[in-house]
Structures are given as structure tokens and as C-alpha cells.
Amino acid sequence: MRRLSCPLGATMYDIYSNAQKDMWRFALGRNGPRKLFAIGLNPSTATKEKSDTTVAKVDGVAKRNGFDGFVMLNLYPVRATDFNALPLDVNTVAFSENLNCIETLVAANPAPVVWAAWGESIHARSYFVTAARELFFQLQKYGTVWQHFGTLTNSGHPRHPSRLSYAWSFHELDARRYMQTLSS
């Protein structure tokens, strides 16, 4: 995991891990003793210096729900403002580094709460589904509590943060049952 150091006051976020000249972003967030881990599809434009809509909403949800920190993670670390611009074939190095980063961050927290926040588009790339499956398997040994925010979509997927209402609440995501829906 890479962490960049910046002069005091130059960053919005004190958790930031990236590679490939910032074309891959593994983690972005704000430290606190009780962190919410949110996992989206892939990173867009947010950096350590500026937010974007998704990160701002994740931060807002975390604050409104008793978390004093958050970490934005993704199923795939390659930046794209539109997931359709991502390659069809997975970059195995990016994929592996990303999963390792997520596991390291989650493992370092007692009773981690992970918000599945990828939306309907998880089926857009096979590696999104593969990453979700691997994460459910890898993170279970840490006592991870999987959550979704608001209701699931009509297809049974956890909603993406960009389309949320702050009036919604968290609900437990049955990881085993959800994995079965990903297989069908």
C-alpha cells in the first residue's frame, strides 16, 4: 500500500493510497477510531485534495450514522468517470494490489463495518463480480459486518452512493445470499 505525504493543510483526506501516477486509487478517506469502509465499483475523480459526488456522499453518510472516519474503496482501482471506459480484461497487478489493500485496511480495525456500495453496474465487468466474491470470502475472518444503505435495487444489488437519500438507513447485507444472486 502506498501513502503519499503532503504538507499540512494541503489535503482533505489523510488516508490516500495510489499507484501508476494516480491512475490507480486504492483508498481515500479520513481517519477516526470508528471507520466506515465503503466499497464502490471503481474510483472516479476524487483525490487527496478534492472530493467528488460519491466520496462526499460517503463522508456525509458516515458522519450522519455515528462514524468518525471513512475509507472509500472500490472493487477495481483503475480510475474512470464511466465504468464503461474500463478495459474488458482485468489488470491482474491492479486487481491483486487492490484486494490486498482492502484486506489490510479492514483487518486493522476491530469489528469492521463494510458498506457494499457498487450498484447495479457490478455486472458490467466480470472482474467486479470476482472482486466482490473474493472480498466476501477474505473479509469474513475479521468479523466483518456487511451493510447496504437504503433498500436493495429491484435486481437485489446494494445501491451506489451517488443516488442516495440521507433519510435512508443501513441494513445488514446477507453476504451468502447475495453471493448466490451474483452467480445467477
Print pLDDT tens along the chain (184 aa): 455 444 444 579 999 999 999 999 999 999 999 999 999 999 999 999 999 999 999 999 999 999 999 999 999 999 999 999 999 999 999 999 999 999 999 999 999 999 999 999 999 999 999 999 999 999 999 999 999 999 999 999 999 998 899 999 999 999 999 998 887 5
- Cα-Cα-Cα-Cα dihedral of 33, 36, 40, 43, to 10°? -30
pTM of this structure: 0.92
Rounded Cα–Cα distance for residues 72 and 63 (Å): 14
Cell output for 15: 488516508
Q: Which residues, at least 6 apart from 144, have a Cβ–Cβ distance to it below 8 Å?
A: 106, 112, 113, 114
